[in-house]
Amino acid sequence: MSGKLALLNETLAAAKAEGRAALIAYLPAGFPTVDGGIEAITAVLAGGADIVEVGLPHSDPVLDGPVIQTADDIALRGGVRIADVMRTVREAHAATGKPVLVMTYWNPIDRYGVERFTAELAEAGGAGCILPDLPVEESASWREHAEKHGLATVFVVAPSSRTERIGTIAAAGSGFVYAASLMGVTGTRESVGAQAQDLVERTRTTTGLPVCVGLGVSNAGQAAQVASFADGVIVGSAFVKRILDAPDAAAGVTAVRELAAELAAGVRAGSGRRADG
């Protein structure tokens, strides 16, 4: 079965060919509702994001800060299920033609069944999964099924990771490497500092995969800063916060579309001072 990993690779390569970083957005499925989440995710892609990560809400999101935890809680109280995540992927991809990944902790996939999850994600048009808490050493079964269905496996590296370890992680992954810009949980930050650039540079010594930076980017200026050295800029909490702060669902959709456009402009502005040409 031909999967959407090729589309993800092509999208990242096209951004690089334009001399810019890709803009990757994150929003959880089922937030504020299943239908509302699909509308918001589609709006973010229409507004300028190149790729989107659909979060699978989890009751113990260890990597996520209070903003995304709040959104996950809303989605879970609304009764979101894996079937709703798959529907979100299917409709967002069908509406935009852009790559859609799922970001999820391992436990829900383990309980659902790896073969079932990968088959359904591929059938929905998903490009792959970001798996922040799955150790590479325990990932063989996942990778076998993901490869069979043409899905990317994106692993996360952190500033604390030794370069040798980064190489092991990157070698096992596909699509891109997710570089966590700082130690700690997701959330907006006042700045995204030198740690992130150092991590990108160290990761690039180990792999030819694109290196995309997440955790902390919330505005066009920060997007430009990260775009000057990374292959992709990942933004999550800032989108979630726009929806949480909106007076109603329609205003939330408008707000995330506008933020996507601002961030897309920021990514392009940062590309003019890219260190890697």
Catalytic residue IDs: 53, 64
Q: How far is CA 47 from the centre of its chain?
A: 16
Residue 254 tokens, joined: 């408008």
Which positions ≥6 away from 54 have C-beta within 8 Å? 26, 27, 28, 29, 41, 85, 88, 89, 92, 100, 101, 102, 103
Residue 160 tokens, joined: 């604390």
Is residue 125 within 8 Å of residue 90, measured between CB atoms?
yes
Give the count of alpha carbons within 13 A of 6, CB side only.
5
Residue 100 tokens, joined: 């859609």
Please give the DSSP secondary-structure letter assigned to residue 99: -
* Residue 204 vs residues 59, 171, 224: alpha-carbon distances, Å: 34, 12, 20
- State yes or no: cis peptide before 135, omega within 30 of 0: no
Cα torsion 87, 91, 92, 98: sign: positive
